[in-house]
Amino acid sequence: MRLHRNLTFAVIDSIRDIFNEGVYADKAVEKALKRDKRWGARDRKFVAETIYDIVRWNRLYAEIAEVKVPYDRDNIWRLFSVWCILRGIALPDWNQIGDVPERRIKGRFAELSKTRKFRESIPDWMDELCEKELGNEVWTKEIAALNEQAKVILRTNTLNISKELLQKKLRAENVITEFVPNHPDALVLPERANVFKTEAFHNGFFEVQDASSQLVAAYLDVKPGMKVVDTCAGAGGKTLHLSALMKNKGQVIAMDIYESKLRKLKVRAKRNKAHNIDLRVIDSTKPIKKLHGKADRVLIDAPCSGLGVIRRNPDSKWKLQPEFIDNIKKVQQDVLQQYSKMVKPGGKMVYATCSILPSENQDQVNNFLTSEAGKDFTFVKDKKVLAQISGFDGFYMALLEKKQA
C-alpha cells in the first residue's frame, strides 16, 4: 500500500481535533471526508478506517510512541508511524516522518500485548470496573470483541418494502447484503458502503440500525392499534421500528428531554412514511403525568454508559468518565420510577440499555421491582446481549408487566 499525502494529512488533522479539541470521532471523520470531492471509495475508506484505528488503539499506540495528550504535530506523526509499522505499511520518505525505530516498536508491541489494558487499549478505571462487574474471563473476551470494527447493519422498513425486495433494490445499486439469522428485518453488508447515498435510503426503505438494537422494539410485544410511549426516543431509531411493527396503526408517543433530537426524528419519520408518531418534549413533569395509567406499552431506552457500543464509538473509551456512569445510574432509576407510571394495568414495559454492566441493567430492574413504584410489576424475561457471543453490539433488555388492577 502506498500512502498519499493529502489523505494522510486529513487523518493527522482529525486525530488532533479528536484528542486535543474534544471533537467526536464520527464528526471528525465526517469533516475529513468532505475535504476533497475527488476522493474515491478507496480513499474515503482509508481516511475513515485509519482515523478509527488510531482512536481505537490510542492507548497502546501512545505507550509505544511515548507520547501524551495533548498531542503536538510531531506526536501525531509518531502515532501514525506506529500504526504503519504494526500494519506492515512501508513508511514514505516525508519530512514529517522522522527516524522510526521499527524493531523497537514491534518489541514494545509484543511486550505491552501481555497486559489487557494495553493490549485492548482501555483506561485503567474502565478495565477495573468492567472486570469487577463481569469477571475476568467474560470481560477479557468482551473487550476483544468490542474492539472489532462494527458491521453495517440495515433494518428493513417493513412499512414500505419487504426484506427480499430491499435486498434486490440495493443489489441494483451495487450494494450487496446478506440476511442475519434470528433478526427478521436485518440485512448486513459484507463490504462497507455509503448506504445513505442510495435511492433505497431516500425512499425510506431502510434505516441503519445495529442488529442488537433491532431486538428491543420487538421485545415490547406491540400490536397495531396500541398506545405506545417511547420515553427516551432520541432521534428515534426504535420509535421508527415500533411504528413499523404496529403497521402505522395506533399511536407511538416519542418523548425526549431534547427537542433537537425529536426534530431529527420528525425528518426520519417523514422519510419512513411512519404516520402514527407524535412527538412530546419532556420539559416538565406534565407530559408524563398526563399519560399516567394510559399506555399499553412503555419503552425506556435509557441513557447509559454506552459500554456495549464501543465498536461504533471507539472514542467513548477516552471520553467516558466513571463519574458520568455514577450519575447516569441515578437517571436510570429515576426514569424507571417515573415513566413506569404511564403503563396501564395489564400493560407492558421494556427497560433497555446499550450497556453490558449489570449495575446499569439487571441491578436497576431488581432495584425497581423491590421499590414502591415497582411493586405493581412482575418480571417477565430479560436478555443480555454480549458482543463476544452475538457478533453485534452489547445490549440489555428486560420485559416487565403491570399487574391487573
Ligand X SMILES: C[S@@+](CC[C@H](N)C(=O)[O-])C[C@H]1O[C@@H](n2cnc3c(N)ncnc32)[C@H](O)[C@@H]1O
Give the footprint of ligand X on this chain (CB under 6 A): 231-238, 256-258, 261, 282, 301, 303, 331, 335
> By the 8 A CB rule, do 313 and 150 touch?
no
- Nearer CB in complex with ligand X: 78/238: 238
Cell numbers for 188: 448486513
**Any bridge partners for residue 397, and if so which?**
352, 383
Cβ neighbours of residue 330 closer than 8 Å, sequence gap 6 or more: none
Q: How many CB atoms lie within 10 A of CB 265?
A: 23
Least Cβ distance, residue 113 to ligand X (angstroms): 33
Asked whether 244 and 158 are in contact (CB, 8 A), the reply is yes
Nearest by Cα to 310 from 165, 212, 199: 212
Check: CB of residue 387 under 8 Å from CB of residue 393. Answer: yes
Please identify, using beta-carbon distances, which residue of 47 and 336 lies nearer to ligand X.
336
Q: Distance between CA 368 and CA 334 in Å, rounded?
A: 9
Minimal distance, residue 104 CB to ligand X, in Å: 43
Tell me how far, at minimum, the Cβ of 284 lies from ligand X, in Å. Answer: 12
- Residues whose CB is less than 8 angstroms from the CB of residue 180 and which lie 6 or more positions away in sequence, other chains included: 153, 186, 187, 188, 211
* Pairing mode of beta strands 295-301, 343-353: parallel
Task: Give me 41's grid cell.
Answer: 471509495
Toward ligand X, which CB reaches closer, 161 or 282?
Answer: 282
Nearer to ligand X (CB atom), residue 335 or residue 356? 335
> What is the C-alpha to C-alpha distance for residues 72 and 89, in angstroms, rounded to an integer?
23
In the complex, what is the shortest distance from the CB of residue 240 to ligand X, in angstroms, rounded to a whole number?
A: 8
Closer to ligand X by Cβ: residue 256 or 296 = 256
Nearer to ligand X, 78 or 227 (CB): 227
> 48: closest CA among 399, 314, 386, 334?
314
Residue 354 catalytic? yes
Say if residue 376 carries a ligand binding annotation: no
Residue that is written with C-alpha cell 483506561 in the block: 123
Spot the catalytic one: 84, 130, 304, 354: 354
Start-to-end CA span in the chain (Å): 68
For the stretch 98-106, contacts whose Cβ atoms lie closer than 8 Å and that sit 24 or more positions apart, written own/partner, are: 98/74, 105/64, 105/81
CB of 403 to ligand X, least distance (A): 25
Contact (CB, 8 A) for 238 and 216: yes
Q: Which residue, 61 or 201, is less far from ligand X as judged by CB?
A: 201
Closest distance between ligand X and the C-beta of residue 398, in Å? Answer: 15
Q: With beta carbons less than 8 A apart as the criterion, state whether 241 and 267 touch.
A: no
Q: How far is the CB of 315 from ligand X (least distance, A)?
A: 17
283 is in an annotated binding site: yes
Neighbour count for residue 48 (Cβ, 10 Å): 21
The reply, when asked if residue 301 is annotated as ligand binding, is yes
Burial class (CB in 10 A: 0-12, 13-18, 19+), 339: buried
Residue 199: what residue type? E
Annotated binding site for S-adenosyl-L-methionine: 256, 283, 301
Annotated binding site: 256, 283, 301
Residues noted as catalytic: 354
